[in-house]
């Protein structure tokens, strides 16, 4: 069921500063910032040969990333995202195994324009896990 690692998401207080480090110091290819109001974040992707890094900056006070940064003021890894061939089949299988799907359990459109779901960190070794339709 699980596919390739799509991205590692890192919560940051200053998107421009984080992007500059990867772009200037590491020579990475980075996208332009893209607001994602439905998710309460602005995102930038760093393209790597085998996956991506996603920087997440809070978009407003009620952003889940703002809450994450309150607990982790220096930022840090927020979640891992894996691709799945069929997000609804993956959701149903995981729920049958006892995993908790966050929110209302229905996929939302993510930053790549594809359906995504988030799984409770307590069910995945303390790691918030995102599934994205491949």
As annotated, the active-site residues are: 130
Q: What is the rounded CA–CA span in Å between residue 68 and residue 73? A: 8
Alpha helix ranges (H) inside 1-134: 15-20, 64-71, 87-96
Q: What is the rounded CA–CA span in Å between residue 133 and residue 81? A: 10
Burial of 44 (0-12, 13-18, 19+ CB in 10 A): buried
Contact (Cβ atoms closer than 8 angstroms) between residue 48 and residue 7: no
Q: Helix, strand, or coil here: 121?
A: helix
């Amino acid at each position: 069921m699980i596919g390739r690692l799509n991205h590692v998401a890192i919560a940051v207080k200053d998107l421009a500063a984080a992007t500059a480090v990867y772009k200037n110091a590491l020579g990475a290819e980075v996208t332009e910032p893209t607001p994602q109001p439905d998710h309460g974040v602005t995102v930038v992707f760093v393209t790597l040969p085998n996956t991506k890094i996603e920087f997440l900056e809070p978009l407003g006070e009620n952003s889940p990333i703002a809450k994450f940064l309150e607990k982790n003021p220096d930022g840090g890894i927020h979640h891992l995202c894996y691709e799945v061939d069929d997000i609804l089949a993956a959701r149903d299988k995981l729920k049958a195994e006892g995993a908790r799907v966050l929110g209302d359990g229905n996929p939302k459109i993510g930053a790549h324009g594809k359906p995504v779901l988030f799984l409770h960190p307590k069910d995945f070794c303390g790691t918030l896990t995102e599934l994205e339709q491949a």
